[in-house]
Structure 1
Amino acid sequence: MTVSHSPVRRRTQADRSAVTRTKIIQAAVSLLQTQGYAATTIQRIAKTAEVSLGALQHHYPTKALIMATVLRHYAVKRAGLYRHAMSLKGRPEERVDAMLDAMWALVTDGPDFIATVEIELARRSDPELKAATEPVLARIDQFMTRWLSGSRKAPPDAHFVRLRQINSALLRGISVEIARGTSVSELKDSYMLWRNFTRQELLKITVDKP
């Protein structure tokens, strides 16, 4: 009896390039978390990713472009987590709870959030970084505000925008506290105090929404 085997698909150049880009971004995120922005040089990123400096610069000619890609990478991850969490819930209360729980998970699960904070702080004194990341951050902020508010076409509720700004500031502060060594369990107790308040405020908007 002859057993047929499906041919093994050979990796294309596009596949190899995608793997290299992923390794570079993962290395950058890890270094940003552990070493900070200034120490996250392209040489260190290449070494950590185990790719040549030439290969890194082929995909990302500058450090600023790597950082812009890190921000986009995190935004995609964040949107995916929110979408999954809220797709499993039906009532407004359940969707709000899912969104707030997802926010906490994003800050505490892995190095991505503190990496984005490092990038945002470094923009103050790095004109090249600011120029490369400004349009990325603007698109992310606009999309996330409209999408999370449920107002993808009409302008989002002004109260929701303010709540989201405050919540984003709180999450950045929590990520810095984690980096300083404050225990996650202690910080979660503090987050739950805020969560109860913001849940009530969000439901004032969401429940009354047609």
Structure 2
Amino acid sequence: MPAPSSPVRRRTQADRSTATRTKIIQATVTLLQTQGYAATTIQRIAKAAGVSLGALQHHYPAKAQIMAMVLRHYALKRTRLYRPAMRHKSQPEQRVDAMLSAMWTLVTEGPDFIATVEIELARRSDPELAAATEPVLARIDQFMTGWLSGRQHGKPDPKFVMLRLLNSTFLRGVAIEIARGTPLSELKEAYEIWCGFSRAELLAIVKDTP
């Protein structure tokens, strides 16, 4: 006698809402990468996501709110990649090597990073976007500085803040070069040179930190 089959779980309203938000974010990221910020309108996002404009605006009444969620989505993706990469990396040189390797993966695999660059560039001429995304970007910067310094809580040495800024600046440049069509092999070679510099600077900061 065959075993009774398990009842099929019906999707709840919360499940459907989560699925809709996921489709909206994924569509937005793809449009930002391929079309740019100005062309990524809420109408195009709704069409690409396969949802009605009303459904989109129910979750995100304004375009700026969608962009803030894209940044948050990217920050969570970054966290999920960094945590296992840096687990059990107690020595400063191990920590920076793991972080730089994870950074390369984030920038070169998938459309997420170039999408964030599009959003950040658009902030300069869009006050509403700037206001909506500022808290998310501040948390991302704090997160990055914490990983570099190995101190997730408390105020880090200002030198770590500057090194985080330099790393972020270089990565944004890499993203732009990828968009311009520069071969990844050339960028990888340049990145390895940068990694040597960044590693040396981190170790110098650690040595000078009381």
State the TM-score, normalized to the length of structure 1: 0.94
Identical residues among aligned pairs (%)? 73
* Greater mean deviation of Cα atoms: 149-158 or 118-127: 149-158
| CA deviation after TM superposition for structure 1 residue 205, in Å | 3.8
Query: 1:183, 1:129 → 2: CA distance?
Result: 32
Q: Which residue pairs with 2:131 in the alignment?
A: 131
Query: 1:89, 1:151 → 2: CA distance?
Result: 13
Q: Which residue pairs with 2:183 in the alignment?
A: 183
* Greater mean deviation of Cα atoms: 191-200 or 148-157: 148-157
Q: Deviations over 1:102-135 (max 9, x none)?
A: 0111110100000000000000111111111112
| CA deviation after TM superposition for structure 1 residue 69, in Å | 0.3
1:71-86 alignment runs, 5 A limit: 71-86=71-86
Query: 2:111, 2:198 → 1: CA distance?
Result: 25
Query: 1:94, 1:46 → 2: CA distance?
Result: 44
* Matched residue SS, 2:140: helix
Query: 1:2, 1:28 → 2: CA distance?
Result: 46
Contact 2:86 / 2:99 at 8 angstroms: preserved in 1?
Answer: yes
- Cα 1:9–1:88 change in 2 (3 A) is farther
Q: Which residue pairs with 1:37 in the alignment?
A: 37
1:2-81 alignment runs, 5 A limit: 2-81=2-81
Contact 1:79 / 1:144 at 8 angstroms: preserved in 2?
Answer: no
RMSD: 1.7
Please tell me the residue identity of whatever aligns with 2:106.
L
Unaligned runs of 5+ in 1: none
| CA deviation after TM superposition for structure 1 residue 207, in Å | 6.8
Query: 1:148, 1:17 → 2: CA distance?
Result: 36
* Greater mean deviation of Cα atoms: 138-147 or 56-65: 138-147
* Greater mean deviation of Cα atoms: 83-92 or 49-58: 83-92
> How many residues align structurally?
210
* Matched residue SS, 1:9: coil
1:153-172 alignment runs, 5 A limit: 153-172=153-172
Q: Which residue pairs with 1:87 in the alignment?
A: 87
State the TM-score, normalized to the length of structure 2: 0.94
Please tell me the residue identity of whatever aligns with 1:42.
I
Query: 1:82, 1:110 → 2: CA distance?
Result: 16
Contact 1:92 / 1:207 at 8 angstroms: preserved in 2?
Answer: no
Please tell me the residue identity of whatever aligns with 1:191.
Y
* Matched residue SS, 1:11: coil
Contact 1:21 / 1:59 at 8 angstroms: preserved in 2?
Answer: yes
